[in-house]
Amino acid sequence: MKGTVVDNAAVHFGPHSSLDTPRTTGLGASGLTGPTSQQFQPFPSGSSPRAGRALGATVLDGIPLVDAHVHVPNLATLSPAWVQWARDFGPDGILEDVWDEDGVPCPERLDELFADQGVDVALLICEYSPNVTGTQAFDDLLPIVEHNPKRFRPVAGFNPLLHQPIAELERQLGLGAAALKLHPVHGGFRCDDRSLYPAYHVLQERQVPVVIHCGTSTFPGSINENADPQILLPVIRDFPGLKIVLAHGGRGGWYDTAASMALSHETVWIELSGLPPKRLPDYYAGFDLGRLARKWIFGTDWPGVPGTAKNAAAVADLLADDVAAAVLGGNARNVYAGLPRLPAVDAGPSQRMEV
């Protein structure tokens, strides 16, 4: 499948890389906050927010595009390491372009940027990892969702070491969360912990998926052994109707494990954020790529990616047309809860119709 894209971004997803920035995060008075705005400057001296780097308009043969893994946190609640990661792997000037001088994302500019990249729906991730990357609060996402609820949907999140899981899950689902994302690597917990079972029960009953970080991270303080997808085998057995999405697809040493689990269990999916598209055939070399790709969901880990549309086109180039359409949008619409109706490809390559 060949996508037509007008964009000069390089085809590469930036993995979480080792950073020299000292880690200054810690539990605040509430137990949930990351570094304060006094601990770091979101923008270097002399730079101006939203300096505005023009992004090319994109067309991907009319295929609906869902980015299932997007971060737009308040920068003042994050560790300096996360901010540096965004600078190192995102487009030049992205923080100044989208975030204001207080480190708050601008919904209007974000909406414009994702429209330019051809993204129909972006799923916004939250995370509570104050000892590693800081706090990406669910409620900070709501102004973005309110600005354009057709394009932006929030994903719930909590840390069982900091929250009452059921109370927080119920609250965030009530505010429209399309899934629950758990980050055991940064959060410091295992996803087979029985304290999470009531939350899994709620998700299974409501047909809302759980997204699990399944890939290594080099942010200081990461507990990478918690990324092993095999930890989820008891959860799959005990909750046979729970849809489970393996974010980062087993990045590091678990590509084969993640692929085997996705092919063996109807409810398990692989989400591609943080994986360079051109290397997917190598990562999953032991498997029929066309068959495995039917269990893929497109995601970027934005802003840690040079160009969303370019990466979507690179994924599509690996696949037959029908499989590419499923990976880029169809699978996400079937897995995540309550996504808006998406335009679908008609007979012509650039014609779209609502489905």
Mean pLDDT score, 261-266: 98
Q: Is residue 16 domain-resident?
A: no
Mean pLDDT score, 189-196: 96
In terms of pLDDT, which residue wins out, 53 or 305? 305
Mean pLDDT score, 198-210: 98
CA-wise closest residue to 74 among 22, 141, 121? 141
Q: Is residue 234 domain-resident?
A: yes
| Helix (H), strand (E) counts: the chain | 14, 13
Q: Is residue 290 domain-resident?
A: yes
Q: Is residue 59 domain-resident?
A: no
Q: Is residue 7 domain-resident?
A: no
Q: Is residue 173 domain-resident?
A: yes
Cα separation, 165 vs 157, in Å, equals 9
Q: Is residue 106 domain-resident?
A: yes
The per-residue pLDDT for range 21-31, each reduced to its tens digit, is 333 333 232 33
pLDDT score recorded for residue 61 = 72
Q: What is the CATH number of the domain that holds 138?
A: 3.20.20.140
Largest pairwise CA distance in the chain: 58
Supply the DSSP string of 218-272, one letter for each residue. Answer: -STT--GGGG-GGGGHHHHHH-TT--EEEEEEEETT-HHHHHHHHHH-TTEEEE-
Residue corresponding to tokens 């909590």: 158
Tokens encoding 22:
């000292």
pLDDT score recorded for residue 344 = 56
Domain with 146 in it: 66-340
Cα separation, 146 vs 123, in Å, equals 13
Number of domains comprising the chain: 1
The per-residue pLDDT for range 124-176, each reduced to its tens digit, is 999 999 999 999 999 999 999 999 999 999 999 999 999 899 999 999 999 99
Q: Is residue 118 domain-resident?
A: yes
Q: 231 pLDDT exceeds 50?
A: yes
Cα separation, 340 vs 32, in Å, equals 31
CA-wise closest residue to 280 among 298, 264, 263, 266? 298
- Whether 267 contacts 243, CB under 8 Å: yes
The per-residue pLDDT for range 47-76, each reduced to its tens digit, is 444 333 333 334 477 889 999 999 999 999
